[in-house]
Amino acid sequence: MASNRVGYIGLVCLLITTVIAASQRYHDCVQKKNVAQAQEECVRYLGIPCARLAVYNDYIYPNDTETQCMVRCMGINLGWWNDIQGVQEPAIRHYFHPDPDDAQHDRRTYHCLKSQRLDNPTPHADACERAYESFRCYYEQYGNIVITPQFVPLTPLQLSDVLLQCADILQFPGVESGACDTAAKPSERDIGCLARCFLLRSGLYTDQHGPNLDRLYVQCNNYANETRFRETTSVCYQQLKSECQDECVLAGRFLRECFDEGGLAVQITVLSYENRCRYRIYHCIIE
Ligand SMILES: *[C@@H]1O[C@H](CO)[C@@H](O)[C@H](O)[C@H]1NC(C)=O
Ligand SMILES: *[C@@H]1O[C@H](CO)[C@@H](O)[C@H](O)[C@H]1NC(C)=O
């Protein structure tokens, strides 16, 4: 019996590792993960006994410090938790599926978060506990856990990396020499091609279908009304598409003109590091 159980747990760990290996075959820099994959990684990172993973894989989360910190790790891993800003709603919502007949799930979740003051940043409280209680609110009030992998938003550093790699790949003026100040001023098309590479590589856009609104909403994070975000972004894109023949110019204008609330721009302000080259690239795209 005991050895059976150990064998079973070993098999569970093996199966999960296989799932993770299979799930890494995504294009460009796009990452998709589900709760089970993130849990398996976090159990390893935090040195939690593997037997515990079997419990988490039944989606049971005992209220203890170890589990609370595992949930926080899972949230960071999946892009729905940040110690300073708290729970990232657009990202966490993808991991829960509300009952179609349940019109109150949003309201109940909001009340659950609000009653524990988890709806605004309180960085001094224990981060593991806050992440755990936030997760519990969604799990108990919002819907069932979604088991298919979901888009994990890129961190500001990853976005910055994607942009710099694109600049390198496209031999963007000034990047190869590191001498931004003396480099020829890039043309609008150069800038557009850089923007296009950035959007393609981060998985937020394709030439064929335009913006991926599901992913953009999660990536931008700071649009309160998803319906309005989808409408305005898609109308803006369609308008530009009817005006632009060139794929680079279209992508460049899309990035510059379709985020009036500062969605993606806010996300990539990290590019304005002290590093002058980065700043220049940032400047080119935003202005
Ligand atoms: C977890 O335990 C803490 C401390 O005992 C308690 O305050 C909190 O309400 C518990 N959370 C849940 C979801 O049961
Ligand atoms: C979101 O925007 C849509 C379309 O602009 C509007 O109809 C709806 O009332 C808005 N929802 C909220 C909660 O403000």
Q: Is the CB of 269 under 6 A from ligand 1?
A: no
- Asked if 63 and 132 touch (Cβ cutoff 8 Å), the reply is yes
69 C-alpha to center of ligand 2: Å?
36
User: What is the average pLDDT across 36-51?
Assistant: 96
What is the C-alpha separation between 248 and 198, in angstroms, rounded? 11
Nearest CA to ligand 1 atom 4: 63
CATH of domain 32-151: 1.10.238.20
- By alpha-carbon position, which residue is closest to atom 14 of ligand 2? 225
Residue nearest to atom 5 of ligand 2 (CA): 228
Over 60: is that where the pLDDT of 112 sits? Answer: yes
Ligand 2: residue of 106, 107, 223, 228 to mutate (most ligand atoms within 8 A of CB) is 228
pLDDT value at 25 more than 60 = no
Residue 26 has pLDDT above 70, yes or no: no
- Angle formed by the axes of helices 50-57 and 65-78, to 10°? 70
Are residues 148 and 19 in contact, defined by beta-carbon separation less than 8 angstroms?
no
The answer to whether 32-151 and 156-282 have equal CATH topology is yes
- pLDDT score recorded for residue 11: 45
- State mean pLDDT over 271-284: 42
The radius of gyration of the chain from alpha carbons, rounded to an integer in Å, stands at 21
Closest residue (by CA) to atom 11 of ligand 2?
225
Q: Which residues contact 70 (CB under 8 A, 6 or more apart)?
A: 39, 42, 43, 46, 48, 52, 56
pLDDT of residue 7: 47
> For all residues of the chain together, what is the average pLDDT?
81
Residue 157 neighbours by CB under 8 Å, 6+ apart: 270
Q: Give the tens place of pLDDT for each residue, 183-192.
A: 566 777 888 8
The ligand whose atoms approach the alpha carbon of 235 most closely is: 2
For ligand 1, whether the C-beta of 111 sits within 6 Å is: no
- Average pLDDT for 182-208: 84
List CB contacts of 257: < 8 A, sequence separation 6 or more: 236, 240
- In three-state secondary structure terms, 238 is helix
Cα 175 to Cα 280: distance, rounded to the nearest angstrom? 10
Atom from ligand 1 closest to the CA of residue 132: 13
Residues 6+ apart with CB under 8 A from 167: 175, 194, 281
**Percentage, residues of the chain above pLDDT 90:** 52
**168/131 Cα distance (integer angstroms):** 38
pTM: 0.81
pLDDT value of position 10: 45
* Nearest CA owner, ligand 1 atom 10: 63
* Nearest CA, atom 4, ligand 2: 228
Higher pLDDT pick, 243 / 172: 243
Whether 275 has a pLDDT exceeding 50, the answer reads no
Say what the pLDDT of residue 221 is: 77
Query: Would you say the CB of residue 227 lies under 6 angstroms from ligand 2?
Result: yes
Least confidently predicted of 128-132, 221-225, 228-232:
221-225
Angle at 249 between CA 253 and CA 234, to 5 degrees: 45
Q: Provide CATH code, domain 156-282.
A: 1.10.238
5 C-beta closer than 6 A to ligand 2: no
- From ligand 1's centre to the CA of 43, what distance in Å? 21
Ligand 2 site, residue 208, Cβ cutoff 6 A: no
Q: Which residues share a beta bridge with 145?
A: 96
Confidence of residue 117 (pLDDT cuts 50, 70, 90): confident
Pocket test for ligand 1, best of 60, 63, 68, 113 (most atoms within 8 A of CB): 63
Q: Taking 90 as the threshold, does the pLDDT of residue 207 lie above it?
A: yes
**Domain regions of the chain by residue span:** 32-151, 156-282
Q: Does 32 sit in the ligand 1 pocket, CB within 6 Å? A: no
Query: Using one digit for the tens of pLDDT, what is the confidence trace for 119-157?
Result: 877 767 899 999 999 999 999 999 999 999 999 998 877
What are the φ/ψ torsions at residue 228 (nearest 5 degrees)? Answer: -65, -40
Of 202, 216, 215, 206, the residue nearest 250 (C-alpha): 206
Ligand 1 pocket, residue 63 CB under 6 Å? yes
Q: Is 255 exposed, middle or buried (0-12, 13-18, 19+ CB in 10 A)?
A: buried
